[in-house]
Amino acid sequence: MWDYTDKVKEHFMSPRNVGEISDADAVGEAGSLACGDQMKLMLKVDEHDVITDAKFQTFGCGSAVASASALTEMIIGKNLDEVAKITNRDIADFLGGLPAEKMHCSVMGQEALEAAIQDYRGVTGEEMDSRKNVVCECFGVTSDEIERVVRENDLKRIEDVTNYTKAGGGCRQCHGRIQEILDQFAPTEEPAVLKPAAGKLTNIQKIKLIEETFEREIRPMLKADGGDIELIDVEGDRVVVSLRGMCSSCSSSSFTLKKYIEPKLREFVSPDLYIEEVKP
């Protein structure tokens, strides 16, 4: 379980400025329902470019709600040029810090603010899209977004980028491109990766490899959305698991099991494995 600061808990339990501004001067959106978090930020701006009101609507975890709530408190009463300098690190610091796995929530706040400012200044969707280059197809994360969080937060590893943006937390096909971006700022050695097992495995070896695959390949993605997985039993090629946290009640849990977790086990443990879920 993550260790949240009192301020994060406060902004989650009693969020500020939740709601909608029907005649908003600017609207910015970030995230997507597909990846589990989405934020809509609405602003009222006076003739001096000062934000007089800000409200948000957020779908996501407690850190997402807290980040959005904190952001509105940080920007109301300030000039657009001033708030344009706010980074995701500023949002996290305002909350007294966020767990590494939840830093993507502060990034979502920064991106929603940036989108709202662009909306107010008349930057069209086509102009914004022309500057974007999607690196992570699973979560729609662009090279611009990855480069910014790497630069502003001094990230060194692919795992760090996943924590801040979710990029690389799905099929992993974008890991090479993420590493290229990391190398532009701070060249590092390629991270160690699990290698598929070879030959016939004993049941003990199989269980050990399954647990290692969970820890390295699967848990980081599940924990990014407040979930987890527990190995219940292994009978031959049958792997029995139980999803925990948010994943246990997620409507797409069966899709996650069959289209993400099972292929990972077949890739890194044995091609004959199949997965079954038991409810806690």
Residue 203's CB is within 10 A of a number of other CB atoms, namely: 10
Whole-angstrom distance, CA of residue 120 vs CA of residue 127: 14
Whole-angstrom distance, CA of residue 186 vs CA of residue 193: 20
Whole-angstrom distance, CA of residue 106 vs CA of residue 232: 35
Residue 275's CB is within 10 A of a number of other CB atoms, namely: 19
Whole-angstrom distance, CA of residue 54 vs CA of residue 94: 17
The partner residues of 141 in beta bridges, in order of sequence, read 136
Select which of 35, 61, 136, 174 is catalytic.
Answer: 35
Query: Is 136 designated active site?
Result: no
Whole-angstrom distance, CA of residue 257 vs CA of residue 261: 5
Select which of 105, 138, 174, 247 is catalytic.
Answer: 105
Residue type, 164: Y
Query: Is 35 designated active site?
Result: yes
Whole-angstrom distance, CA of residue 37 vs CA of residue 1: 19
Residue type, 242: S
Residue type, 54: A
240-249 burial string, b = 16+ CB within 10 Å, else e?
ebebebbbee
DSSP letters, 181-205, are HHHHHS--PPPP------S---HHH
Whole-angstrom distance, CA of residue 163 vs CA of residue 123: 29
Catalytic sites, residue numbers? 35, 105
